[in-house]
Structure 1
Amino acid sequence: MSLSGSLFHGISGLQTAQRQIEVTSGNVSNANVDGYSQKTAAAVTRMVDGQSSGVDIGPIRREVDTYLDSEAMRARTELGALNTRSEYLNRFGKVFGTLSNDSTLANGLNALSSALEALSIEPESASARRDVVEAADAVARQFNRISTETTDLRVEASNEIDQGVATINDALDSVAELNDEISRAEALDRPTADLRDERDRQLETLSEWMDISTFSRDNGAIAVMGKMADGSTKMLVDSSAVQFDFTKANALGPIATASDGVPTLVNAGTPAAASDQLGATTGGRLGALLDVRDNTLTDFHRDIDRLAQTVRDRVNAAHNLGTAGNAATASSETITGSRAFGGADGFPDGITSVSGTLTLSEVDGDGNVTDTYNIDMGLVDSALPTGATVSDLQDALNAVATSLPGVTNNPFDLTGGTDGRLVMSAPNGSDFTVSGGSATVEGAAGERNFSHYFGLNNLFETSGTTLTGVAGNIRVNADIKMDPAELSAGRASTTVDQQAVPVGDAGVAQAMAAAFEARGTIAASGGNLKAVDTTMSGYAADILSFQASETSRTDTARDFQQTMYDELKFRSDSKSGVNIDEELSNMLVFEQAYNASARVISTVQEMFDTLDRMIN
């Protein structure tokens, strides 16, 4: 080998060792950077015409295990979903209460039951009446609070969805841009390892928010595919990146509606197909947020609404057996039902049949019954036309009532406008009137006692006609809340010269207390719980038990997934991470190679100097 050849070998060795030291120092300095993978630059023999012509640096490669990385990415997607679901379930648990505290609805209902039992023992006790009203108000406020805070959680989930869509869009754009940079660098035979690291970081962010899969192109770019709302897979990044649009609703209700908004591909058709939208099947944090907002919290709220509706109806059915709240204290006063029929917010207006006997008792200023009027509902029923309305029922009631001796006016009327509330007045303009008897009405709004059907003496009131939102607006009758003396305790007497509401009668209080002990079928809510035969407190306990079970199951799955992800991440980092000791050891090797190459150059230089002296 000539001296010039030796010099060339020495210089190539020096340059190669220098480049290897540079790569190694880069590994050391980035050892603690998340997502950085170890780089290696192997020395390769430079060949010219089949002959060794020194040494050269090989391609700078990343030490990664693509299989472990893909498995860790999948585990991260599932972990993101479970973390999100666990967070919201635990927060809802704090709203609804836990098995270990005394603030649950079941305990509130038990407190109201106890107060009613106390009233049944002392029906004339003012303090017992006040305790019942306060306990009822506490239950109503518990329902209101749970409804409000559950809706607030849906709003928070919607806000996080908005942030998640922005994060997904940014990550998709970054991956597409890095694809272009990597492709250009590949074409120019430039290093791409650091660009690939950054692309992996973007994919890691993306995989936390949604379920994605990738495959490589020949030019170094990757294609990214993601799950859509209908379960299909759509290309998200290839030659370019798609973008998603999400418009938050100005306000969210307790139950999911189409107006709540879902992430949709920009420029998708109108209406957008499910294959162009992200949904619960999208996976990751975003899929979990959509599922929590539109299913989990909505289903729990439906259960709460069903419980509120059951409490309202069962307690009101018993309370409407009483008469205290039905009393009109002067001839100009009337009794107006709280249930409106017809109109946008009215109950279904339709009467199927009526039966039994409706008794109207006139009462004097001392509270004694002076006269009674028994309306045969069988006669009323026969006078009803096919497809009768509440207005038809009013006419039939007046027709039968005015045929009774002593009735001088129409006792029944409907409020004007579209609300259609039943109004009752004294049959002959007396100072006081009480409704009672065994009359039953069956119609589009169900089958109930006459007073209960028209809401003449409700303890709990709600607005609206559907199950949705009952928990949010249930409240204690304003008149009873203002004056607990209006609370019904006993049934009406129809015996002339006796007290209309006998002193010490606790029949209604006992019926209300019994409503809490009685088992009955509570219809399916459309949420988590199916139709079940239970008490009201039992149903509340079922909601709590289901919520606690679901939270525990999710937390267990999250902990398992966290362990799995940590293990996969550890193995992946063990492969791609930087080992400082190993890098320092390599540094010594490259330093020695550098010194050796420098020594070769120095020796060749000495030989050139000697040759020069010999010639000259």
Structure 2
Amino acid sequence: MSLNLIMNTSTSGLMAAQTQLRVVSDNVANVNTPGYVRKIADQVAMTSQGVGSGVDVVRVRLATDRFLQAAAMSASSEAARQGVRYDLYDRVQSLFGDPGGTSGFFAQVDSVFAAFTGLAEQPTSTPLRQDALYKAKAVFDEAARISTQIQLVRADANSRIRGGVDQVNNLLREIEALNDEIARSRATASDASGPESVQAALLGELGKLMDVRTSVRDLGGVTVRSGSGTLLAGRGHAVLEYSYSGEVQAETTFGDIFVTEPGGARRSLMDDLTSGELRGLVQVRDTEAPAAAERLAELMTRVADELNRAHNANSAAPPPNRLTGRNVGQAFETAIADFTGNSNVVVTNAAGVVQARAAIAFSGGTMTVNGVPATPATFLATLNAQLGGAATASFANGVLSLQASTGTNGVAVADDPVAPSSKTGRGFSHFFGLNDLVTSSAPAVYETGMTAASQHGFAAGQTLSFRFFASHGGVMRDIQVAVPPGGDMASLLDQLNSPVSGVGRFGSFTLDNNGALTFANVPGGDWRMAIASDQTVQAPSGVSLTALFGIGGGVRASRADSFSLRSDVQGNPALLALGQLDHAAAVGALAITPGDGRGAQRLSLAGQNNVRFEPAGGGGGGVLSVSRYASEFSGEIGGLAAAMKRQKDAAVSVSAEATARQVAQEGVNLDEELVLLTTYQQAFNASARMIEAAREMYDVLLGMV
């Protein structure tokens, strides 16, 4: 072996040892750096014509375990999804207060009915009246506050989705830039471990936002795809798009998150989101928070309706001068049709003595007033004639009103207790809301009483758009439907259910016996329907088709913040209807007295009435009392929050274990690094001694010359 070969071999060993020592030093220096991946310098022996000629470090790489990296990233993505779901839903659950406490929302619901119990014994007590009104107002105000806060949770989720999309775009851009840098380092045989370490950290951040899959490129760097295979980075980077800047309300229908692959077409990303923060945010925004809002709205609708049922069956003493109903969302001829049973409109003086009365009888599509036949078209004129000028009934903009002609007189409506008037399970006064205690700014009860032959009042050509969402949240299709000619509900149902001009390919609408319109998916259909827009206006009420029938969960959820206590009753507690009018009292007889508290007992028991709840927010509905529904709703809210916490804790535990195993494989072990440090120091020293020995031999040879 020549001295030159010895020198070259020793020099290569010296340089290789220096590189190894530098790698070990980097590892030791970053022993406590989160996410740092241990470096490894690959060293190989060099030969020349079959003779060893030294060593060389061909590359410095990261000690990455692709299997453990993928497992940790997947677990981290799921932990992020479950974490954001629980954090946001816990905010929703906390809005209702302690389910078992005395100050929570559900306790307030029970306290409303209990407040009327004392009034049954002391109906003339102004403080007790004011207390009952205060508690009733407080529970509806609290429901409105909770509903608003739920929408704020949705708005927060939506804002975080926008921010998350921007963050994903930034990460993809940086990951792709690092791909280029790593490829250049590989091409020039430079150390690429630095950009690879940064890229690994960026991939970890990306994995928390959405589920991704990575593979190593032959030229260096990684290819990044979504869970379903959409290319995100590796041959250029994808671009995500999402924009929604409007105010988030219960009726808000959000659009899609779109992705444009490098050199590809624009498409929905929703079906790619199976885990990660973005998926969790979409779930809370579009499913879980709206479900809570829908359940709350259904509860408050029935609380209001049962209080109104009792209040319409009662009367103040003396009765008020005017009764103004609610907007029934239909023409009077349609609204008055199909009643059964008997009711009475009574006019009294300030002492409660009857001044005029009109006995109304409904039977088999016919009606009479004091025995005089009437039709839906002539009913109001006949009623006014039989009242003899003592009071006037009028109907405008969907609202029925009764007003006594003399300012000191009052007007009341009382059903026959044996054969009460009824339509959709509501009496004449209750159906029109003539003596409601709780009012609503929009239709809240969707049992319209319409039949297939009823005129709906919407002009032909008016349109509404339905939006269908897939189970993963992506928009499947928007379908615009126009109101057809004909004007009856049968024609409208045919149009809505048409597979060509309606939504028949996705499901069907049906009109039940109470005139409620419901939608059901076709068998096996796993999608959700919402209203994208509604341009319909009913004459004469001015309400839209979706508002009248409560089409879509958003419209139904919006009811929770629409209720309020009647303003005139709040201003004058004497108008609180706590008595029961003698429906059979003749003209000149006493019909009601101020000390009558029988109606207060009916109000106190309103929460125990079994009523029909519509399916809402995943709940099946059914026939049960208001108090029972509130109790079940309370349990479901708390149970779902607890289940989410368990899922979050389990996902975090799995993520921690996967990360621990990855760190054990890829992290820095000081003991191992110290052994390597000692080894390469000795190798460095050995190479240095060989160089020194070769130099001495050179000196000896030169001295011999």
Distance in 2 (CA, whole Å) between partners of 1:234 and 1:82 is: 23
Distance in 1 (CA, whole Å) between partners of 2:55 and 2:347 is: 116
Distance in 1 (CA, whole Å) between partners of 2:317 and 2:246 is: 41
Distance in 1 (CA, whole Å) between partners of 2:568 and 2:381 is: 28
Q: Residue type of the partner of 2:85? A: R
Distance in 2 (CA, whole Å) between partners of 1:392 and 1:249 is: 52
Deviation at 1:157, TM superposition (A): 0.5
What pairs with 1:146-165 in structure 2 (closer than 5 Å)? 146-165=146-165
Q: Is the 8 A contact 1:98 1:548 kept in 2?
A: no
Distance in 2 (CA, whole Å) between partners of 1:236 and 1:610 is: 66
Which residue is 1:515 aligned to?
606
Q: Residue type of the partner of 2:631? A: A
Deviation at 1:497, TM superposition (A): 4.4
Q: 1:534 to 1:223 in 2, by over 3 A?
A: same
Q: 1:381 to 1:36 in 2, by over 3 A?
A: same
Which residue is 1:413 aligned to?
394
Q: 1:89 to 1:218 in 2, by over 3 A?
A: same
Which residue is 2:126 aligned to?
126
Q: 380, 391, 411: which one pairs with 1:397? A: 380
Q: 1:181 to 1:379 in 2, by over 3 A?
A: closer
Q: Residue type of the partner of 1:160? A: R
Deviation at 1:280, TM superposition (A): 8.6
Q: Is the 8 A contact 2:318 2:351 kept in 1?
A: no
Which residue is 1:604 aligned to?
694
More helix as a share of residues: 1
Deviation at 1:76, TM superposition (A): 0.6
Q: 596, 601, 613: which one pairs with 1:505? A: 596
Distance in 2 (CA, whole Å) between partners of 1:408 and 1:462 is: 31
Q: 1:554 to 1:420 in 2, by over 3 A?
A: closer
Q: 1:521 to 1:411 in 2, by over 3 A?
A: same
Deviation at 1:75, TM superposition (A): 0.5
Q: Residue type of the partner of 1:595? A: N
Deviation at 1:43, TM superposition (A): 3.3
Q: How well do the aligned residues superpose, as a CA RMSD in angstroms?
A: 2.8
Which residue is 1:36 aligned to?
36
Number of residue-to-residue matches in the alignment:
583
What pairs with 1:181-192 in structure 2 (closer than 5 Å)? 181-192=181-192
Q: Is the 8 A contact 2:74 2:211 kept in 1?
A: yes
Q: 314, 319, 335: which one pairs with 2:323? A: 335
Which residue is 2:563 aligned to?
474
Q: 1:96 to 1:370 in 2, by over 3 A?
A: same
Cα deviation digits, residues 503-538 of structure 1 (max 9, x gap): 43222211111111223332212x121123322122
Which residue is 2:403 aligned to?
425
Distance in 1 (CA, whole Å) between partners of 2:308 and 2:272 is: 40
What SS does the corresponding residue of 2:655 show, helix, strand or coil?
A: helix
Q: Residue type of the partner of 1:74? A: S
Q: 1:393 to 1:535 in 2, by over 3 A?
A: same
Distance in 2 (CA, whole Å) between partners of 1:107 and 1:158 is: 32
Cα deviation digits, residues 345-368 of structure 1 (max 9, x gap): x99964431233332323224332
Q: 328, 340, 353: which one pairs with 1:355? A: 340
Q: Is the 8 A contact 2:350 2:408 kept in 1?
A: no
Distance in 2 (CA, whole Å) between partners of 1:451 and 1:280 is: 54
Distance in 2 (CA, whole Å) between partners of 1:31 and 1:167 is: 28
Q: 542, 552, 560: which one pairs with 2:632? A: 542
Distance in 1 (CA, whole Å) between partners of 2:132 and 2:272 is: 44
- % identical aligned pairs: 27
Which residue is 1:316 aligned to?
308
Deviation at 1:549, TM superposition (A): 1.3
Deviation at 1:557, TM superposition (A): 1.7
Q: Is the 8 A contact 1:326 1:457 kept in 2?
A: no
Distance in 1 (CA, whole Å) between partners of 2:683 and 2:76 is: 42
Distance in 1 (CA, whole Å) between partners of 2:665 and 2:436 is: 71
Which residue is 1:169 aligned to?
169
Normalising by structure 2, what TM-score? Answer: 0.77
Cα deviation digits, residues 394-435 of structure 1 (max 9, x gap): 632322552x4x7248832123xxx23112134799833332
Which residue is 1:140 aligned to?
140
Q: 1:287 to 1:38 in 2, by over 3 A?
A: same
Q: Is the 8 A contact 2:325 2:434 kept in 1?
A: yes
Q: 1:172 to 1:80 in 2, by over 3 A?
A: same
Which residue is 1:262 aligned to?
256
Distance in 2 (CA, whole Å) between partners of 1:373 and 1:550 is: 53
What pairs with 1:7-18 in structure 2 (closer than 5 Å)? 7-18=7-18
Larger Rg: 1
Q: Is the 8 A contact 2:210 2:273 kept in 1?
A: no
Does residue 1:582 correspond to 2:560, yes or no?
A: no
Q: Is the 8 A contact 1:380 1:397 kept in 2?
A: no
Which residue is 2:101 aligned to?
101
Q: Is the 8 A contact 1:73 1:204 kept in 2?
A: yes
Cα deviation digits, residues 1-37 of structure 1 (max 9, x gap): 2222222222111111111111111111222222221
Q: 302, 306, 310: which one pairs with 2:294? A: 302
Q: Residue type of the partner of 2:687? A: S
Cα deviation digits, residues 457-502 of structure 1 (max 9, x gap): 1111111124331111211111111121111101112424444322
What SS does the corresponding residue of 1:223 show, helix, strand or coil?
A: strand
Distance in 1 (CA, whole Å) between partners of 2:646 and 2:332 is: 45
Distance in 2 (CA, whole Å) between partners of 1:290 and 1:349 is: 42
Q: 1:326 to 1:66 in 2, by over 3 A?
A: farther
Q: 239, 242, 266: which one pairs with 1:243? A: 239
Deviation at 1:562, TM superposition (A): 1.4
Distance in 1 (CA, whole Å) between partners of 2:117 and 2:432 is: 27
What SS does the corresponding residue of 1:78 show, helix, strand or coil?
A: helix
Q: Which stretches in structure 1 are left out of the alignment for 5+ residues?
A: 385-390
Which residue is 2:180 aligned to?
180
Which residue is 1:66 aligned to?
66
Distance in 2 (CA, whole Å) between partners of 1:134 and 1:601 is: 97
Distance in 2 (CA, whole Å) between partners of 1:220 and 1:302 is: 52
Does residue 1:75 correspond to 2:75, yes or no?
A: yes
Q: Is the 8 A contact 1:106 1:538 kept in 2?
A: no
Which residue is 2:432 aligned to?
454
Q: Is the 8 A contact 1:105 1:540 kept in 2?
A: no
Deviation at 1:84, TM superposition (A): 0.5
Distance in 2 (CA, whole Å) between partners of 1:174 and 1:426 is: 77
Q: Residue type of the partner of 2:257? A: P
Normalising by structure 1, what TM-score? Answer: 0.88
Which residue is 1:373 aligned to?
358
Distance in 2 (CA, whole Å) between partners of 1:214 and 1:203 is: 9
Which residue is 1:463 aligned to?
441
Q: Is the 8 A contact 1:256 1:293 kept in 2?
A: no
Which residue is 1:27 aligned to?
27
Q: Residue type of the partner of 1:313? A: D
Large movers: runs of 4+ above 6 Å:
427-430
More strand as a share of residues: 2
Distance in 1 (CA, whole Å) between partners of 2:381 and 2:415 is: 17
